[in-house]
Amino acid sequence: MSLKDTYKKKIAPELQKKLELSNTMEIPKLEKVVLNMGIGTYIRSGNKDYSVLQEHLALISGQAPVVKLAKKAISNFKLRAGMPVGLTVTLRGDQMYNFVDKLVNVVLPRVKDFRGINKKSFDAEGNYNFGIKEHTIFPEIPQDDVVKNHWIQITVKTTAKTKEEGTELLTLMGFPFAK
């Protein structure tokens, strides 16, 4: 059973009971998942071709990333306006649920010395942000291609109204929070 089906049949009714919500439209759910990868240091180190990183992020997410360009020049960072500084992907619908399922059940358990993810990374509206130090822990990435490991910042946007609602939603979805 997919995570989307599990949410509809088990998680949503349980959330409604725990949060004491009378209206089913109030039940928190996932809205989108955003993946970000900074490539500024990669570009500054003399590599003009970042297509390998685009390919890796596309393999991880299942869709092509958007290249983010610098809006203004910052001399201290040797940055000029229009230089590529990041890659981003926004996942919604089935792709989002498939990614979250893979993240929780395959990717995070592969992290070396993994003790859970931090519960303190929720914002006031119940959205969750965390980073992964090595993008190579995703099973889709061929280990031969990797020249340098890159961070991936993952943002899970929910319809929760509070930090507690967001925590409860992601806990029921199987996110391995540290004790």
Q: Tell me what pLDDT residue 45 has.
A: 64
Q: Tell me what pLDDT residue 82 has.
A: 78
Instruction: List pLDDT tens digits, range 103-147.
Output: 999 998 888 888 889 889 999 999 999 998 888 888 888 877 777
Q: Dmax over Cα atoms in the chain, in whole Å? A: 58
Joined together, the tokens standing for residue 76 give 């201290």
Joined together, the tokens standing for residue 155 give 């943002």
Q: Tell me what pLDDT residue 113 has.
A: 81
Q: Report residues of the chain scoring pLDDT below 70.
A: 41-47
Give the predicted TM-score (pTM) of the model: 0.88
Domains and CATH numbers, the chain: 29-172 (3.30.1440.10)
Asked whether 166 and 128 are in contact (CB, 8 A), the reply is yes
